[in-house]
Structure 1
Amino acid sequence: MEQLRDAAAEGRIDLDELDSRLEQALKSKTHAELAALTADLPRPSSVESRPPLVLKGGMHGASRGPGRWEVPGQVIAHGGVGGVKIDFTRAACRLREVAVEAYGEMAGVTIVIPDGWAADTSGMDPGVGGLKDKTTPDRLPGTPLIRLTGSGGMAGVVIRHPNRRERRKLHSNPTQG
């Protein structure tokens, strides 16, 4: 409902449309029904102008997440010698699609996406290290598509859903962030 009010305040939907969608939101019984109410909203202009997130593994590695963070339209990850991990499981994302450029280099890049999100890895060059896509194609309405490009380099790129340990942590502390 907050996303709908924001969209109306920013002029992305008119007040009649806001009233109609808020009424539908109150009648919704599932997350999928709620997600469908915001899936077709135009992106806010502030999101479009947000600079890309650039992560460089360097010698010691780099990571983003698993806490709350706002996802920009583009993420660039260079594994370097230390590696990079991008965890979208608690990220706030109002975009329908996120472009992620991943370069495995020497230590690799790991990308963790929530269940219900999907990935398109067709633009990825596996390189020597390869690409491991362990995601499912079961994309829920209103959730982002991660469009992955780049190169696996020497160490490779992995994109997956949370593993067992990460799921336990998510369930044991659902409000972390």
Structure 2
Amino acid sequence: MIVIPDLHQIDGELRQPPPTPAHRWTGTEWVFDPDKQTELNQLECLKLCAAIDAVADATRHAIAGDALRVLEYEQAARDAKAFQEGGFPSGEVPLSVAAWVVNDRTARQAAEDILTKASILNDAVLRIRTVRLQGKEALRLEMSKGNVDAARQLADETITQINRLSHELAPPLNLRQ
């Protein structure tokens, strides 16, 4: 492609560039293509939703660690709950609870600590999920109306809210066991 100020060589012809990416060449002029605009809006919506998801994923990872650690926490919480419901029998301490019996911590204290942290983690994840899903749905609604700038603003606000949650939740959780 040869670029001459205000003209582009496209398909062997010199012509003005399209006014927007949603315009198509008819052979004689650029015309707005609503189908192309819809496609561009859909792609932008996917990009904005992916950005929100990425921030939410990073926030969850910062709070709880990787997915395998989350599975470990969930298993420990199930075991601690069963141990609690069984009345904390001293001869039947689940291995995942016994692993947290350190530094003069009793099996009962370990189970209660695991359950407390599991509850805090669950609440944190649900708060992040709520902000993420509500933000994505609001931006999809704006995008469906063709309000691209409003959708971008909603994405920015949602990301800001998730980042705020990250700062609010991460230090107090102290889930690292």
After TM superposition, is the score higher than 0.5?
no
Q: Which has the higher contact order (CA 8 A, sep 6+)?
A: 2
Give 1 or 2: higher helix fraction. 2
**What is the TM-score when the length of structure 2 is the normalising length?**
0.22
**What is the TM-score when the length of structure 1 is the normalising length?**
0.22
Give 1 or 2: higher strand fraction. 1
